[in-house]
Structures are given as C-alpha cells and as structure tokens.
C-alpha cells in the first residue's frame, strides 16, 4: 500500500510539473532542446549543492550506504 501511495503522489507531482510548464511557456517560441538542456542544467546545479550535504548526513537503515545517506565513492566503485 505504501508503494502505491508513493507512486500516486509522484504522478501528482509530475502532472503538476507538466501543467506549470505549459502555463509558464504558453505563447513562447522556444526550441525544445534548449528547454530540456536548461532543465538539465538547473537539475545539475541543484544536485551539485545537495550531494555534498547528503554525504555528510549520518544514518542507519536500509537507505544508508556505509553509514551515510549518500556515498558517491562507493557508487562509482559499484558502477
């Protein structure tokens, strides 16, 4: 039940993103590849800030890897 609830919430957020993008860019003449590239750029900037923060958060449980919320070195070694 938790998985279904999380999936429904994710779909609501994704639908909200699509609707807000349509409203923001309605009447604009933008190149689709430019818009997608700009979204990727902002996503990269956000995670460049969040990743070092997540690597400093200690945790115990199933979501943890090596005692931290995020362990990029271990992720690269697994790759």
Residue 1: what pLDDT?
87
The one-digit pLDDT tens for each residue of the chain (79 residues) are 899 999 999 999 999 998 998 888 888 888 889 888 988 999 999 999 999 998 888 888 777 777 888 888 888 888 7
Residues 14 and 37 in one domain: no
Residue 44: what pLDDT?
96
Residues 3 and 17 in one domain: yes
For residue 15, give its domain range.
1-30
Residues 57 and 71 in one domain: yes
- Per the structure, the count of domains in the chain is 2
Rounded-to-integer distance, Cα 37 and Cα 47, Å: 15
Residue 78: what pLDDT?
83
Residues 38 and 20 in one domain: no
Residues 21 and 56 in one domain: no
pTM value is 0.57
Residues 42 and 76 in one domain: yes
Q: Are 56 and 68 in contact (CB under 8 A)?
A: yes
Residues 70 and 48 in one domain: yes
């Amino acid at each position: 039940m938790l998985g279904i609830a999380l999936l429904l919430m994710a779909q609501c957020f994704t639908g909200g993103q699509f609707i807000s993008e349509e409203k923001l860019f309605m009447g604009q003449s933008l190149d689709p590849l430019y818009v997608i590239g700009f979204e990727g750029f902002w996503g990269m900037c956000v995670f460049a800030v969040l990743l070092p923060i997540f690597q400093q958060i200690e945790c115990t449980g199933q979501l943890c890897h090596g005692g931290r919320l995020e362990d990029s070195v271990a992720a690269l070694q697994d790759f």
